[in-house]
Amino acid sequence: MSDHLDSPGPITLTIGDDSASVGPPMGDLKTDITDLYAFLKPDDDGEANGELPGKSILMLNVNPLALAPEFETGAEYLIKVDTDNDAVDDITFRVTFSPKVNGQQTGRVDRTDSAGSQVVVPAALVSFGAQATVTTNGPYRFYAGLRSDPFFFDLLGFIDDFNFVNGDFFADKNVFAIVLEVPNRALGATPATTSLWARTRVMQNGALVNDDRVGRAAINTVFNHGVDKNIFNGLEPSQDATALTSEGITFVQSFMNTLGALGGSPALATVLLPDVLNYDFSKPTDYAKLNGRRLRDDVISISLSLVTNGGLTTDNVGPHTDYLDRFPYAGTPH
Amino acid sequence: MKQLDRRQFLGMAAAGSAVALASAAVPMSGILTWTGEQTVKFRAIAGLPKHPLPMYASFVIEGTANLDRGTGTVIKSLYAGAPEAMSTILFPGTARSIRVTGVQRSGDIVTIAGVVDGKAKLGPREKGIVSIVINQAEKAAQADFLGTPVTLRVQ
């Protein structure tokens, strides 16, 4: 529930005489993004290997509760990188998956920038069990498959009017993780103005269309109502400042209204939008300083404190204890 | 009625068109009905969390209770998605099976008492003894979710 299940169900919408079905594959768990993480590689040995200025770990998690048995074939799982602070992607890591045959599926990673596209990882086995199959190709390392969900949150407390007494809902849950170790130079040369977001695109009527997206944690879940969740998921971050909700107000105004009702500062809306994860890889990663996101960063407590202006400071749960100190960092599946 | 694809729809919605939810994908099959005047069958639903937060989940109570015998079964469940977009995804560990121990009817009000099946692991604020009050005239029900009173819409 960072953004787990933020548009889980199909709904039919009517505008005048027109109707549209907004559901599967739009509500497909296989492309439902739960979280995006970006942090400096903890065990970085880049300097020793002459690979300055080090490496980063990018983690895009999907498939909340790991209810779906595979990654979506034909879909795109994207980590987009904006290098110049305009909320438009300059670099894209694109992950795609083969059909699952005889219990096996492979993933491929491409990196695209203004100079063109290169294959980063041509084929890597997806891990469906406890054993993590890690694929290395040059400076890149890749994992895709089942993992312990690193996210922690008293979800039931959130649903129950902020009565945070139920413990960590995700402590025993799994997720499908896409983990990529990249040299920082692959993220561009302007760390101070770099930000990321995750995007999934699915095939519909023969064309790829936007499905889900996530920048910071829990934005869609906490701020967008009803059909606006789907509208927001379909937008690009560069549209966040001006796009309208189904009620005809801007998402910025809608966020301001929710912030005001929660006791927070309405001005925070312009910090939260566009919904991107700032990531200055020349500095230590710390979500509390709006710089990247580590697995152990308590994004919910940080967010609660911000959106309630200190009225609530914690959901009374902390990081999981199963994080690995090595790639792929997310814990062994439950 | 012509069909729009999602991209067309989003374009219209983002342009500020009025949007109305026409139907949910999950059929809302149950309604409050009486069988032979003595058995009530019902289904009630509420979106959670409450305003100003967006609804994220659907709290569903459904079951039957016999007025004469004071028996029946009621299931409480929590599904992902707001009522208008409810999924079939049940949040693990949130379902409660309730054995009805008493039913009272007074005008439009039906009060069902019961106990949670002992196999369920209750939350810290959750009680094992359950009371569900259904107001037929207002098509509303009152019940606890994890210990907090919630008003549900009877369907």
**Every domain of chain A and the residues it spans:** 11-307
Taking Cα atoms as reference points, which of B78, B77, B80, B76 lies closest to residue B56? B80
Buried b (16+ CB within 10 A) or exposed e, A287-298: beeebbbbbebb
Taking CB atoms and an 8 Å limit, are A20 and B9 in contact across chains?
A: yes
Rounded to an integer, what distance in angstroms lies between the CA atom of residue A31 and that of residue A275? 18
Sign of torsion, CA B66 B68 B71 B74? Answer: positive
Note whether A10 contacts B: Cβ–Cβ < 8 A: yes
Answer whether residue A238 shows pLDDT above 90. yes
Rounded to an integer, what distance in angstroms lies between the CA atom of residue A10 and that of residue A18? 17
Residue B78 host element (H or E): strand B71-80
Upper half-sphere CA count for residue B106 (Cβ side, 13 Å): 4
- Nearest chain A CA: its distance from B27 CA (Å): 11
Strand partners, A82: A195
Answer whether residue A276 shows pLDDT above 90. yes
Percent of chain A at pLDDT exceeding 70: 90
Rounded to an integer, what distance in angstroms lies between the CA atom of residue A248 and that of residue B14? 8
Q: What is the ipTM of this complex?
A: 0.88
What is the pLDDT, as a whole number, of residue A26? 55
Taking CB atoms and an 8 Å limit, are B1 and A19 in contact across chains?
A: yes
Answer whether residue A15 shows pLDDT above 60. no
Question: What are the tens digits of pLDDT across the range A147-181?
Answer: 999 999 999 999 999 999 999 999 999 999 999 99
Q: Using a CB-CB distance cutoff of 8 angstroms, which residues of chain A are in contact with residue B83?
A: none
Percent of chain A at pLDDT exceeding 90: 84
Answer whether residue B128 shows pLDDT above 70. yes
Note whether A12 contacts B: Cβ–Cβ < 8 A: yes
- For A223, B18, B22, B56, the CA distances from A227, given in Å and listed in that order, are 12, 11, 12, 12
Percent of chain B at pLDDT exceeding 90: 59
**For testing contact with chain B, the best of A14, A159, A213 (most B CBs within 10 A):** A159
Rounded to an integer, what distance in angstroms lies between the CA atom of residue A151 and that of residue B59? 23
Question: What are the tens digits of pLDDT across the range A209-235?
Answer: 999 999 999 999 899 988 898 899 999
What is the pLDDT, as a whole number, of residue B1? 37
A-chain residue closest to B125, CA distance: A165
Q: B-contacting residues of A 251-270, CB under 8 Å? A: 257-258, 261-262
- Backbone φ and ψ for A240, nearest 5 degrees, come out as -60, -35
